[in-house]
Amino acid sequence: MSKIIKAILLSLCLINLSYSEETPAPQPAVTLKRMTLEDAVELAVANSVEIRKAAVSIRDYETKLSEETVWNWLQPNLSLKGGFDTETFEPRVGLGIGIDLRDVMGRGKKRRRTLNYSVEEGRKSLDSLKAAIRIKVTAGYKEYNLSKKKLKGIQETLKTDEALLKAAEDTGSNLERLLTRSMVNQDRLALITAQLELSRVETSLRELLGLTPVTTQEDIDNIQMDFREILENSPSGK
């Protein structure tokens, strides 16, 4: 194998290696099932654009404040002046060195007060943003858990009524079968409503947390299956 081919192969290997090292591994999707309230608040704060803007603004003011020191105010000013003597016909050059005491006498201190005020107001604004996020996330988190509990209760009720329907289909009268089938259909309609409500609440909470809403194909298939079961088991369908 020639040296040129070897060099090309080595370069390709190095390129692939560097690409694999720099390319980040895909991050797992964030699930809400095991997330605590504090985890949700921290995630919302970390993903908040307003929080990041406020933090950057505070850092900018703090940087400017750190530059407003007495030593910086006492930096000398250099001036170079040149001219031409009309009597001797010789050039004249003058170098001036001075210190502007206006910053030391008050102008610099005024800038420091202004920057200190801006930093304090920025921190107050940041605290207000965090407090507002906590209130919204807490409300969304509680609503999400209540929706989950409601859905679980309807699922348990449906399971019980389906067992009653099975018994009525085996030994019950026509009226018992009709009434029980109607109960099961009502449970399934309530289940679909609860599933849609939970999906809405979860989407709203994920938006508060700065996450992308997730709707799986499995969720859609389950809702469609529930509709089909209701139609098939309705009095007009049998």
Higher confidence at residue 130 or residue 213? 130
Distance between CA atoms of residues 85 and 179, nearest Å: 119
Give the pLDDT of residue 25. Answer: 41
Residue 10 lies in a domain: no
Sort strands 77-84 and 91-98 into parallel, antiparallel or unpaired: antiparallel
Give the pLDDT of residue 42. Answer: 92
pLDDT digits (tens, 9 = 90+) for 64-86: 888 777 555 556 565 656 555 56
The pTM of the whole model exceeds 0.75: no
Mean pLDDT of 42-60: 92
Distance between CA atoms of residues 164 and 169, nearest Å: 9
Residue 93 lies in a domain: yes
Residue 177 lies in a domain: yes
Residue 96 lies in a domain: yes
Residue 15 lies in a domain: no
Residue 205 lies in a domain: yes
Whole domain around residue 182: which residue ranges?
30-237
Residue 70 lies in a domain: yes
DSSP 8-state symbol, 27: P
pLDDT digits (tens, 9 = 90+) for 163-209: 999 999 888 888 988 999 999 999 999 999 999 999 999 999 999 99
Residue 19 lies in a domain: no
Angle at Cα 93 formed by Cα 92 and Cα 99, nearest 5°? 140
- Residue 225, amino acid: M
pLDDT digits (tens, 9 = 90+) for 199-232: 999 999 999 999 875 544 444 455 445 545 544 5
Indicate the length of the chain as a whole number: 238
Structurally, the chain folds into a number of domains equal to 1
Give 226: exposed, middle or buried? Use CB within 10 Å, 0-12, 13-18, 19+. middle
Mean pLDDT of 90-105: 59
